């Protein structure tokens, strides 16, 4: 039987014939399988006498089938290699290319505008010490304003007390820069910040730019002029209307929140978009909160190693993603971080 089986395998003309042989020999109803089944009914002595031969047959058949199959596959590959040709003159398929992200674009525009106004760029770590993010900004451990920030904490103890955290704003860079460089100062600090927060105008990671001016005899008028000048340059419109609302931040006194007026327009595809300009109090208009700001609190200047009787200043912190939404007309902040090239192209960001 063994010789016959091996001869049939060697003679198989193609892979289909080989498969039929495999089923006939080793399949459920196959002849070799039937022989294997007889082992169960044998006495131990008989099994010891005939078992090795039957097992040997099964192995030999399986091996012959496998090597015949391999031979067919090798022949097929050789055939394809011989007949197929790569046409090197064909143009390559178009690979998808990325574009500048609106947030990067806005960051660059802002840095350029502020450079013209004499601001240098400062940076700080995203994994921050509780002391710089809160305490030095006049928010001691039990301060209620801490609760407004929905902070992501690490289990690690911070060197200066409290826990390490993902910075919730760029304001800690104020303290770091005053401590490192002293006064006078005129800086912006762009970067990522993190809060446990998510809806159409809030994402858990977003971007802020901090501004800080420390000098002698600085007052609120300098702040207002700086913000108006930069917003008009950024939006390239003279009809920008700002609304300054009294507010509260522990690290500024007085504090003002700045809103910008926009009109709601319908796009041809039925979506609504916000277009800047005019007062937000007109019908069909609204106000969008852009930034928080104020005169730097004396206690912050003190904790940053400067004498508040000699040095004063103003600071502001603005949401870069919100600025991008307003300038380029996006309606949902969450789509900023989906990485969808079609979405980018829709808003005019293509390679």
Query: Given the rule CB under 6 A, which residues bind ligand FA5?
Result: 169, 171, 195, 197, 202-203, 206, 208, 210, 249, 252, 289-294, 315-319, 321-322, 333
DSSP tally for the chain: helices H, then strands E:
11, 11
Going from the C-alpha of 281 to that of each of 193, 261, 288, 322, the distances in angstroms are: 31, 8, 11, 20
Cα separation, 208 vs 174, whole angstroms: 13
Pairing of strands 120-121, 185-194: parallel
- Find the distance separating the first CA and the last CA of the chain, reported in whole Å: 71
Residue closer to ligand FA5 by CB (options 5, 209) is 209
Q: How far is the CB of 150 from ligand FA5 (least distance, A)?
A: 8
Q: How far is the CB of 316 from ligand FA5 (least distance, A)?
A: 5
Residue closer to ligand FA5 by CB (options 14, 338) is 338
Q: How far is the CB of 252 from ligand FA5 (least distance, A)?
A: 5
Cα separation, 146 vs 133, whole angstroms: 10
Residue closer to ligand FA5 by CB (options 65, 138) is 138
Residue closer to ligand FA5 by CB (options 35, 205) is 205
Greatest alpha-carbon pair distance for the chain in Å reads 110
Q: How far is the CB of 255 from ligand FA5 (least distance, A)?
A: 6
Cα separation, 146 vs 346, whole angstroms: 39
Q: How far is the CB of 149 from ligand FA5 (least distance, A)?
A: 7
Q: Which residue is closest to ligand FA5 by CB? A: 319
Whether the upstream peptide bond of residue 168 has omega within 30° of 0, thus cis, is: no
Q: How far is the CB of 309 from ligand FA5 (least distance, A)?
A: 21
Could you tell me if 313 and 295 are in contact, meaning their C-beta atoms sit under 8 angstroms apart?
yes
Cα separation, 188 vs 210, whole angstroms: 5
Residue closer to ligand FA5 by CB (options 162, 292) is 292
Strand partners, 166: 127
Nearest by Cα to 245 from 298, 290, 211 = 290
Residue closer to ligand FA5 by CB (options 61, 134) is 134
Nearest by Cα to 317 from 105, 121, 129, 169 = 169
Please report, to the nearest 10 degrees, the dihedral formed by the alpha carbons of residues 251, 257, 258, 264 taken in order.
140
Q: How far is the CB of 314 from ligand FA5 (least distance, A)?
A: 8
Residue closer to ligand FA5 by CB (options 177, 208) is 208
76 is in an annotated binding site: no
The binding site comprises 253
Binding site as annotated, residues for Mg(2+): 253
């Amino acid at each position: 039987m063994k010789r016959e089986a091996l001869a049939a395998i060697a003679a198989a003309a193609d892979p289909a014939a080989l498969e039929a042989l495999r089923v006939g020999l080793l399949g459920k109803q196959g002849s070799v399988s039937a022989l294997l089944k007889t082992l169960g009914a044998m006495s131990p002595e008989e099994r010891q006498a005939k078992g090795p031969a039957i097992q040997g047959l099964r192995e030999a058949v399986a091996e012959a089938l496998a090597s015949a199959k391999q031979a067919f596959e090798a022949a097929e590959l050789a055939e394809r290699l011989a007949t197929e040709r790569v046409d090197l003159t064909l143009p390559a398929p178009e690979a998808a290319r990325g574009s500048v992200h609106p947030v990067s674009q806005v960051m660059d525009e802002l840095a350029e505008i502020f450079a013209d106004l004499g601001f240098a760029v400062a940076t700080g770590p995203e994994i921050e010490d509780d002391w710089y993010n809160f305490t030095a900004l006049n928010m001691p451990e039990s301060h209620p304003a801490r609760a407004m920030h929905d902070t992501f904490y690490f289990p690690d103890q911070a060197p200066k007390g409290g826990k390490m955290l993902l910075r919730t704003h760029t304001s800690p860079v104020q303290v770091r820069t005053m401590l490192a460089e002293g006064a006078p100062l005129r800086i912006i600090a762009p970067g990522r910040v993190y809060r446990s927060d998510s809806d159409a105008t809030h994402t858990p990671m977003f971007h802020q730019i901090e501004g800080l001016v420390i000098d002698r005899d600085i007052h609120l008028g300098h702040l207002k002029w700086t913000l108006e000048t930069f917003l008009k340059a950024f939006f390239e419109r003279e009809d920008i209307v700002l609304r300054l609302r009294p507010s509260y931040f522990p690290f500024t006194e007085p504090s003002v929140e700045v809103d910008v007026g926009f009109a709601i327009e319908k796009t041809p595809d039925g979506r609504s978009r916000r277009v800047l300009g005019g007062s937000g109090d007109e019908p069909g208009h609204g106000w969008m909160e852009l930034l928080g700001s104020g005169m730097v609190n004396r206690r912050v200047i003190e904790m940053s190693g400067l004498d508040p009787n000699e040095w004063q200043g103003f600071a502001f912190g603005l949401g870069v993603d919100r600025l991008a939404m307003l300038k380029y007309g996006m309606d949902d902040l969450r789509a900023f971080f989906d990485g969808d090239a079609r979405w980018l192209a829709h808003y005019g960001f293509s390679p």
